[in-house]
Amino acid sequence: MYTVHFVCPLLLSTLCVHYYCTHVHCPLCVSTTTVHFVCPLLLYSCSLCYQEAVKLLFHTCESSGLFVFAVEPSLLRALRVGTQRRLELWGQDRHDSVAVGVKDAGLDQMHLVMSAMRRAGYQNWVKVDADPRGLSVASQTSQRSVTTHFLLWVPVADRRPMVIHMVVFYKRGDHYWHSALSDPSRPPPFDMKGSSFHHAAGIYDLFELGTVTVDGVEIRYPNDTFAFLKEKESSEFIECDYKRAYLFNQQFPPDPSDRAKTFRRKSRQLLALTKKVLEALEIPFWLSSGTCLGWYRQCDLIPHTTDVDIGIFVKDFREEMVAAMETAGLVLTHRFGRESDSLELSFLYGDIKLDVFFFYETRDYSWNGGTQASTGAKFKYIFPCVVCPQVHFPVCRVSPGTFSHVSCVSRYIFSCVLCPQNFGLLRAKSSPVLYLLIQTFSL
């Protein structure tokens, strides 16, 4: 028999009763045999507190008409198993925070939830961001603000409390988007670097929610948890730099001709079709060469390039990719090199060409080969900043228009180009696109 302390913010008093329980190790307790409860819903601050905190939040939100859903990867894996024992095991692990999602949160509903959680002894922190749905090259900045993150916790003296992290998902076209929690100008009150929603914005395909009942509380979650968790690994989203694009367009106005408009429209259709085919084959890709430059520099396609460029790691290539592309309506027109050296494919979609460059990895750099169609001359383009082959370069989403991919390989390349100490190295060994970037920024 051990002493159990009930701390009730409503009564502003501490009540002590005797309670029969098993030996408990509580990260918030001085004694391993003392269990703290927070009234009015008996929120445990021991190993059970994590699942109890989730149930408290879900119950409070449902009572307020706001439907939250689990997005914490470890909790989603536990829910996927679908057994009470699995959830209990999840609750017995030590968690600094637990993340839940909410779609397009209404201010009135969120006010009700925050008020109820404060009555339960919680404090909160709110992050507000510019609404990206109002961004464009013309406007540069959004005039609207949206609430993007909430942190909830029960204060504990001399210890970091367990934090509930509410991530707000907003609909952008046929995707859901969330912002990054990190903000150098106004950092969260706790170190949240361990949260998978901390360092970068993310974007996901639209998803439906399923429910599971745990101790009488309905907990919602993405219906296809396997697909959500897989997409989470490649959900990082890079917003286009509209200010940079605006400044570029001031110096070099966009081509307003019908030919340029037609090229942009067809190229977006080609990218959307390519994305559909390659995602069905689970082949990651990214915007490359001139197409990547257009997104980075002017948030658009470069119409005078007359083609679309993508990159793929050669380790992900399979012959069935060619057949799948042709089935989708793309005609293979050129095949240069071979899988072991400088492979490059060209497809035609109507009158728009798609160039597929395959990238090879070594211990010190990544590279891709190129072949000049008219002469057969071969070139090798080296990207010296892409090192550490043990590091997985996740695929990131980019805007605008159709949500295509730009890999972190491309992002590393950009960081090299814009880094003065690497200028000499890149000038000696660089692709035409990198040289064009160097010329553009006049380093």
CATH number at residue 122: 3.30.460
pLDDT at residue 24, rounded to an integer = 37
Q: Is the pLDDT of residue 59 over 70?
A: yes
Distance, CA of 29 to chain centre: 35
Residue with tokens 């169609």: 373
Three-state secondary-structure class, residue 137: coil
Residues 328 and 374 both lie in one domain = yes
Name the phi and psi angles at 411, rounded to 5.
Answer: -65, -40
Confidence of residue 60 (pLDDT cuts 50, 70, 90): confident
Q: What is the pLDDT of residues 252-273, one digit of tens each?
A: 999 999 999 999 999 999 998 9
Phi, then psi, of 351 in degrees rounded to 5: -110, 15
Domain shared by 53 and 39, yes or no = no
Residues 293, 302: Cα–Cα separation, whole Å: 8
Between 201 and 77, name the one with better pLDDT.
201
Instruction: Report the candidate in 343, 271, 358 with the shortest Cα–Cα distance to residue 307.
Output: 271
As a residue count, the chain comes to: 443
DSSP letters of 115-131? HHHHHTT-EEEEEEEE-
**83 — pLDDT class (breaks 50, 70, 90):** low
The mean pLDDT of the chain is 74
Q: What is the pLDDT of residue 354?
A: 96
Q: In this structure, are 175 and 284 located in the same domain?
A: no
CA nearest neighbour of 441 among 421, 423, 425: 423
User: What does the block give as tokens for 117?
Assistant: 């959680």
Domain that holds residue 400: 240-441
Q: Tell whether 118 and 37 lie within a shared domain.
A: no
Q: Does residue 180 share a domain with residue 103?
A: yes
Residue 126's pLDDT band (cuts 50, 70, 90): very high
Confidence of residue 328 (pLDDT cuts 50, 70, 90): very high
Q: Is 270 helix (H, G, I), strand (E, B) or coil?
A: helix
Mean pLDDT (whole number) for 271-282: 92
| Count of domains forming the chain | 3
Quick one: 203 and 271 in the same domain?
A: no
Mean pLDDT of 322-339: 94
Which of 211, 233, 255 terminates a domain? The answer is 233
Confidence of residue 345 (pLDDT cuts 50, 70, 90): very high
- Give me the mean pLDDT over the 402-411 stretch: 47
Q: Please tell me the predicted confidence (pLDDT) of residue 84.
A: 58
pLDDT-based confidence at residue 402 (cuts at 50, 70, 90): very low
Could you count the other beta carbons within 10 Å of the beta carbon of residue 172? 15
Question: What per-residue confidence (pLDDT) applies to 393?
Answer: 31
User: Mean pLDDT throughout 407-428?
Assistant: 37
Task: Based on the fold, state whether residues 23 and 37 are members of the same structural domain.
Answer: yes
Tell me the mean pLDDT in the region 103-118: 85
Q: What pLDDT score was predicted for residue 93?
A: 55
State whether 375 and 249 are in the same domain. Answer: yes
* Domain limit, last residue, from 233, 248, 272: 233
What integer pLDDT is reported at residue 86 of this predicted model?
A: 58
The answer on pLDDT for 149 being more than 50 is yes
**pLDDT at res. 69:** 92
Report DSSP letters for 212-253, one per residue. EEETTEEEEEESSHHHHHHHHTT-EEE---HHHHHHHHHHS-
Do 154 and 301 lie in one domain? The reply is no
Q: Per mean pLDDT, which range of 12-21, 74-83, 112-121, 251-260 is the poorest? A: 12-21
Confidence of residue 218 (pLDDT cuts 50, 70, 90): confident
Please tell me whether residues 357 and 266 are part of one structural domain: yes
